[in-house]
Amino acid sequence: MAKEQIYELMVIFDSRGDETEINREFDVVQSLIERHSTEFIGRADWGLKEFKYPIKKRSSGYYVYYLFKAKTDVPVELSHTLKMNEKVLRHMIIAGNSRSASYLDKLQSEPKPRAEYTKPPETTSEHIPSENKAEEPVEEEKPENVPEAVSEEPSESEGIEEPQERTDEKAEEFQEEELSDENNEKQREEEGVE
């Protein structure tokens, strides 16, 4: 009789392809574990994450964490079947302990705010609607601002007139100064001639 033990399985799925297909693959692996194990404890999806180094020429993948109780000969069979799966980029099975069970409880109570990594080709399609959304509120605001602008117009026109008057005054002052300068110059010339 083989002994029973808690096992942790971390699987990195290929991010290429539709998300629905990838999500289906998560369930396929889960059903595989449920078939082999004596007790399936839980699962945690980490979502799409960027690799720190490329794995099979890919820069990102979906991380899924499984926790289960099984007999000691099960991990070998599991790893063999996972190796055959093309969607699985990499996997790791390790013997768990009492703390690994508490990890899932922690996640449920306090879900970590993960930095979501988005695929480069998909981001272009996602950005277009976001830009449109950003434009919509601006368009809505414009009609609201129009009556305010109209109400402000008279005050602005009054404000504009004042500087005009000032300019006129200044222009007159300038003219006077110029005239006075010309007179002075004439006087100096006359004095010089004499």
Q: Using CB under 8 A as the criterion, which residues of the chain lie in contact with another protein when the complex forms?
A: 10, 12, 49, 51-53, 55, 61, 63, 65, 90, 92, 94, 99, 103
Choice between 50 and 176, CB closer to another protein: 50
In three state form, how does the secondary structure of 123-147 look? Answer: HHHHHHHHHHHHHHHHHHHHHHHHH
* Residue 10 beta carbon to another protein: minimum distance, rounded to whole angstroms: 6
Q: Considering the complex, what minimum distance in angstroms separates the CB of residue 108 from another protein?
A: 15
Q: Which residue has the tokens 């009789």?
A: 1
Per the structure block, which two tokens stand in for 60? 């990102």
Contact present, 116 and 48 (Cβ < 8 Å): yes
Smallest distance, another protein to C-beta of residue 155, A: 57
Nearer to another protein, 92 or 146 (CB): 92
Q: What are phi and psi of 163, to 5 degrees?
A: -60, -30
* Residue with Cβ nearer another protein (80 or 99): 99
Residue with Cβ nearer another protein (40 or 103): 103
Q: How far is the CB of 79 from another protein (least distance, A)?
A: 13
Strands 4-14 and 39-55: unpaired
Residues 81 and 113: their CA atoms lie apart, in Å, by 32
